[in-house]
Amino acid sequence: MKIFSFPPIFDDNSKILILGTMPSKDSLRLNQYYGNTRNSFWKIMFNLLNKEFSENYDVRKTLLLNNNIAVWDTLKACIRESSADADILSPEPNDITGFLEKYPNIKAVFCNGRDAHAYFEKYFPKLSIERYYLPSTSAANAISWDKKLNEWKRIEEYLNKH
């Protein structure tokens, strides 16, 4: 089945862009980034930004925007039956180059996981922007919560310096 990513969460003040690969089945059903409750993205973001965790999606989006963080996916469409990135067929990239040209305050891209990073490097190798790989927040990524959180602190460090 062909699936499509969501529009980005961003505003003119966004300084960094966090890129996933494609929404999971749960995310698509809920029409929310990182909608699978076992995905640690939102828990990590609330932890990094020292805010009390909320399951309210509007609160989650506001948390990102209040901290100059944009979220999108490297792919705009693909064929995939499961939620696994390994099952992606016929990937089509989002226009990340055009997006970054339109929003020049974004100075760094943080890729959520190996596949998001691989697609970003494949489709945008010459894009002149700081780029960082972070371990996937997916529950399928078996590394510990502490290790994920520690790696994701690079976002906090980046924002504190810029």
Tell me, yes or no, if 39 is annotated catalytic: yes
CA 141 vs. chain centroid, Å, equals 15
Query: What would the pLDDT profile of 15-32 be if each residue is shown by its tens digit?
Result: 999 999 999 889 999 999
Count Cβ atoms below 10 Å from residue 157 Cβ, excluding itself: 10
The pLDDT value given to residue 87: 78
The pLDDT value given to residue 129: 96
The values of phi and psi at residue 86, to 5°, are -65, -20
Report how many domains make up the chain. 1
The pLDDT value given to residue 85: 72
> What is the per-residue DSSP string for 66-124?
HTTEEEEESEEEEE-SSS-GGG-EEEEE--HHHHHHH-TT--EEEEESHHHHHHHHHH-
Judged against a pLDDT cut of 80, whether residue 82 lies above it is answered with no
Residue 99 maps to which CATH number?
A: 3.40.470.10
Domain range holding 153? 2-161
C-alpha–C-alpha distance, residues 32 and 64, integer Å: 14
pTM for this one? Answer: 0.95
Catalytic option among 39, 67, 94, 112: 39
pLDDT band at residue 1 using 50, 70 and 90 as cut-offs:
confident
C-alpha–C-alpha distance, residues 83 and 69, integer Å: 25
Write down the residue that tokens 């180059």 correspond to.
97
C-alpha–C-alpha distance, residues 93 and 81, integer Å: 18
